[in-house]
Amino acid sequence: MINQKIVVLLACSWALAISSVTGHGSTALAQQKPPATSSRTTPDFAALSDAAEKARQEGRNDDAIRLYRQGLSVQPDWKQGLWFLGMLLYEKEQYAEVRDLMRRFVAVEPLAGPGWALLGLSEFQTREYPRSLEHLQHVRAIGLGKQQEMSEALFYHVSVLLTRFEQYDAAMTLLMGLRKSGSSPDLLVEPIGLSALRYPLLPSEIPPARKEMFRLAGEAALADESNRRDEAEKLFSAMAAEFPNEPGVHFLFGVFLLDVRPDDGIREIQRELVIVPYNLTAKLRLADEYLKEEKFDDALRLASEVVQLDPQNPSGFMVLGEALVAKNDLDRGIAALETSRKLRPETVRTHWDLLRAYTSAGRAKDAKREKEEIEQILHPVASQ
């Protein structure tokens, strides 16, 4: 579905594709200096270029493809040729060739967001997922220029790839953003279900027997996001009843319940830990809840288990440090929090924890530094 939409969007003009770079449309482009390869330009090229353009505008796509190819054999850096041939071939699902054309296109037009987008989307189709994600993320950094219509396709693909690369929280943020921007829930249900249940799969990779599980999870998460709590609970409950032994199910339901009925939430997460005793995310969430309820020993036990199983887990050290500080074990608490800060310096909560812990320990200078760090993270420009 999303791919059909891309094909329609690609019927955009050359002007839109390139205008993010030059700020000009095709007229301005025609007035640009010829590229350095112009020494190889022959009168035939101009004729080919005109014929290709005419064929494309008249919808004679096969002729246009042939003519663009001929033109590119004369002038390999011909930007319009690369772009339109790529567009026409994408429509014909010849993704490997589009990918190669767009690699050449972005090499000569490195700031053309739509070019990088078409490259990343083609790589998605050829299943070169790491490269696809890298290039689509690059588009997010440089922008799509005036071709904002492509943004839904861009964000959708980035989010499903983030899930596949186990960056579930970032994926979920993008997916919920897409929903708020008006994307169809039908498009988003499965990706949200996958991300919520923390399965590194694309929607096309969902095992058929558990499609319903991901659908229920996705619909429930969407209902929750829209504050339709009763509907969300019914859906989560149905998911847990139908798939009681699947990893992730009770954790997801439990996290939802923590906000509604914390005791039930704790029970669900405990069920999760019976099914998957080493679900570190569940252990941490539970430890966090115990901290809130001032059950410091329970929190300490779970956080200790997490860092023992995964000594590189920054959240584990953060919760461990919080529990230790709460039990007045300042030295060990500060040490754990400092480990967390070292592993993931951008987490504001760790800096707040350290600020408070240093203050309690009478380390005013260290506390001041943490405050500055917080400022730097929250207001990076202002603090420069």
Partner 1 sequence: MFAAISLFVLLSLPHPAFPDTPQKSFEAIAREADAARQADHLIDALKLYSEAVHLHPTWADGWWWLGSILYEQDRFSEAQASFKRFIALSPKPAPAYAFLALCEYETQDYALALHHFELWSNAHSPGKGALLDVASFHWALLLTRAGRFNEALFILAAKAKQRETAPVLTEAIGLASLRMAFLPEDYPPERRESVWLAGMAEVYNAQSESRLSDAYAERLLSHYGQEPNVHYFRGILLRFQGNEDSAAEEFQKELEISPRHVPALTEWAASRLEAGYDSEALSLAKRAIEIDPQSARAHYILGRALLETGSFHESAQELEIAKRLAPESSRVRFALSTAYKRLGRKQDSEREQAAFLALKDKDNVLAPLGDKFKAPQATEHPQ
Binding site for partner 1 (CB under 8 A): 36-37, 100, 103-104, 106-108, 110, 126-131, 164-166, 199-202, 204-205, 207-208, 245, 247, 276-278, 309, 312
CA atoms within 13 A on the CB side of 197: 31
- Triad 161, 162, 165: Cα angle to 5°: 90
Closest CB to partner 1 among residues 197, 324: 197
Please, is 139 exposed, middle or buried when counting C-beta atoms within 10 Å of its C-beta (0-12, 13-18, 19+)?
A: buried
Per-residue HEC secondary structure of 23-68 comes to CCCHHHHHHCCCCHHHHHCCHHHHHHHHHHHHHHHCCCHHHHHHHH
Tokens of 224: 């929750």
- Triad 204, 280, 300: Cα angle to 5°: 160
Tokens of 165: 């690369």
Closest CB to partner 1 among residues 53, 123: 123
Least distance (Å) between residue 132 CB and partner 1: 11
Closest CB to partner 1 among residues 49, 313: 313
Least distance (Å) between residue 172 CB and partner 1: 17
Closest CB to partner 1 among residues 14, 129: 129
3-state DSSP assignment of residue 226: coil
Least distance (Å) between residue 163 CB and partner 1: 10
Closest CB to partner 1 among residues 213, 223: 213
Going by C-alpha positions, the residue among 372, 304, 311 that lies closest to residue 343 is 311
Q: How far apart are CA 382 and CA 365, in angstroms?
A: 22
Closest CB to partner 1 among residues 128, 212: 128
Least distance (Å) between residue 75 CB and partner 1: 13
Least distance (Å) between residue 376 CB and partner 1: 29
Least distance (Å) between residue 361 CB and partner 1: 32
